[in-house]
Amino acid sequence: MQNIQGFIFDMDGVVVDNHKSHFKAWMEFAKKYNFELDDKIYREKFNGKTNRDLFTMIFGEISESDILSYAMEKELRYQDIYRADMKPHHGLVEFLKYLHTMGAKIALGTSAPTMNVDFTLDTLGLRNYFHVIVDGTQVKQGKPHPEVYLKCLSSLGLAGENCVVFEDSLAGLDAGRSAGCHIIGVATSHSLEELKSRTSFLINDFTEARELMRI
């Protein structure tokens, strides 16, 4: 990877390893509203999608107020579940500090709603590490569409070829590639073997990031 000037991080499964908490909240929601969900469906069809995409997929064409109501219910439950276990992904803070010393441009590009971005970044004191934040409320099309990453690139003032995207979901890796970025898979919601179908650049956590990129 040559001439890398920018780094874009997904949030869920990358900045924080919160897959199990989101899955538990979704399983409770699925039981209440009687739709099929298991780990395979969740990882293949839910990961990386915006709430608008997800609730439309579940309930069909519903009103914006219904989408917001369902989203609030599910996300508040997720926050209740995850709050006690919250912590940055292993090695993340040290890696972000290093990138800042190198003068890199750093963005957060996530399908998560603003309430979860605020919950994560402000609870963990991570907001100031990111020069640009684009969340699911700022895009019309969720991953695997590249809109979220294209918006990050535009705000950073960089071309995709000069940026690395860190992603844990298959849809997110596809979105990063479609935006023209270099992509690195983070093995949280998917195994390294599963992620190999999308990229050969893989890490378990951010203690491995500098060595992988040779920076």
User: In CATH, what number is assigned to the domain containing residue 132?
Assistant: 3.40.50.1000
Is residue 184 assigned to a domain? yes
Sheet holding 202-203, edge to edge: 132-134, 105-109, 6-9, 163-167, 182-186, 202-203
pLDDT tens-digit series, residues 34-55: 999 999 999 889 988 899 999 9
Same domain, 48 and 63: yes
The answer to whether position 208 is within a domain reads yes
Q: Are residues 63 and 93 in the same domain?
A: no
Q: Is the pTM of this model over 0.75?
A: yes
Q: Which domain holds residue 132?
A: 6-16+87-213
Q: How many domains does the chain have?
A: 2
Contact present, 136 and 54 (Cβ < 8 Å): no
pLDDT digits (tens, 9 = 90+) for 164-184: 999 999 999 999 999 999 999
92 and 142 share one domain: yes
